[in-house]
Amino acid sequence: SRVHLSPPACLRRVERLKRLGLIDRTVALLHPRAVGAGMLVMIGVVLDRSTPESFAAFEEAVARISGCMECHLVTGEFDYFMLVRTRDSDSFNRLHAEQLLYLPGVRQVRSFMALRNVVSTTELPLAI
């Protein structure tokens, strides 16, 4: 009703946006605490070498880390930043000891536990 189109016309437009690649996927946003993932940890990673091979090995391995929501190659002090969700600090401690320390080529891991969510959105800023 906001765009003055019928539901079938809206669906056709959404399907067209999917075909054009503007809509990547459709998801349901779950409340993290309700599904046992209430702790958000931001992790800065420094690799011991900056080579295409070390980046590729790290990126392949990080894709298998439990609770890893995002991983970004970045500029600055760290090579990568990861966003990881776990149940609590004990479960993060286990993840750190059992998985993060064994990522290939890692020289340093620095963890930052979120205390409070101030802003979080999945909306992209689109001019309409």
Domains of the chain with CATH codes: 32-113 (3.30.70.920)
DSSP one-letter string for 44-86: EEEES--SHHHHHHHHHHHTTSTTEEEEEE-SSS-SEEEEEEE
Are 44 and 109 in contact by the 8 Å Cβ rule? The answer is yes
Please give the pLDDT value at position 128.
63
In this prediction the pTM is 0.84
Please give the pLDDT value at position 3.
84
Low-confidence ranges of the chain (pLDDT < 70): 128
Please give the pLDDT value at position 1.
82
Are 113 and 79 in contact by the 8 Å Cβ rule? The answer is no
Q: How far is CA 91 from the centre of its chain?
A: 18
